[in-house]
Amino acid sequence: MTTLRRQRIGLLASRGLGPLGLILCLVMALAPHGRAEVTERVVTDPRTGLAISGFDPVAYFTDGKPSLGKADFEYRAEGVVWRFRNDANRAAFAGAIHVYRPRFGGYDPVAVGRGVATAGHPEIWAISGARLYLFYDEQARTAFLRNPDDVIRIADQRWVEVLGTLVP
């Protein structure tokens, strides 16, 4: 294991993640570098290579709505390019990726709970427990909002399994 990977695992472990979170972090830290590993962990537009189709992940929290980022404010993290509306949003993201990054990499948590990796749509979203979730459609969002804690708990239980389906 490289020094960089050991440092990432140590940093992630120091954040107080539970056992499932540590397993996920270990899987992600040990995964080979390259486009396939990245695009399958964060929902990425295959045409542009932009995470969550170029929407600014911080804007959901600061503006209460999705906003497209600008090419002038890009940040490369987790092997993909994220876009932001302004430098302040980019700086906030760089300082706390784990806060602003959509849970489950932008995959729909309702589908993840069923064991399926279905990309969420950046304009169908919700914030719960100070985390951003993206959904495939309004029905999934409605199901989530009825009982977000249960949906998240079930998705957390299935996430490592779903990640396994994303690896070539």
52 lies in the same domain as 102: yes
What was the pLDDT predicted at 46?
86
Q: How many CB atoms lie within 10 A of CB 144?
A: 21
126 lies in the same domain as 59: yes
CA–CA separation, 44 and 50 (whole Å): 5
What was the pLDDT predicted at 129?
94
41 lies in the same domain as 8: no
58 lies in the same domain as 78: yes
What was the pLDDT predicted at 23?
40
Answer whether residue 33 shows pLDDT above 70: no
Which tens digits make up the pLDDT trace of 49-101?
999 999 999 999 999 999 999 999 999 998 899 999 999 999 999 999 999 99
- Greater pLDDT, 23 or 75: 75
CA–CA separation, 133 and 109 (whole Å): 7
Q: How many CB atoms lie within 10 A of CB 111?
A: 21
Mean per-residue pLDDT of the chain:
82
56 lies in the same domain as 106: yes
130 lies in the same domain as 152: yes
Which tens digits make up the pLDDT trace of 134-147?
999 999 999 999 99
To the nearest 10 degrees (0 to 180), the angle between helices 138-146 and 148-166 is: 130
What was the pLDDT predicted at 56?
98
88 lies in the same domain as 144: yes
Answer whether residue 34 shows pLDDT above 60: no
46 lies in the same domain as 24: no
112 lies in the same domain as 156: yes
15 lies in the same domain as 75: no
Tell me the mean pLDDT in the region 117-126: 97
134 lies in the same domain as 157: yes
68 lies in the same domain as 14: no
Check if the beta carbon of residue 61 is closer than 8 Å to that of residue 132: yes
Number of domains the chain contains: 2
What was the pLDDT predicted at 96?
96
Tell me the mean pLDDT in the region 17-45: 46
Q: How many CB atoms lie within 10 A of CB 31?
A: 17
The separation between the first and the last C-alpha atoms of the chain, rounded to the nearest angstrom, is: 21
Answer whether residue 40 shows pLDDT above 90: no
Domain that holds residue 11: 1-30
What was the pLDDT predicted at 79?
86
What was the pLDDT predicted at 82?
98
What was the pLDDT predicted at 168?
44
What was the pLDDT predicted at 167?
56
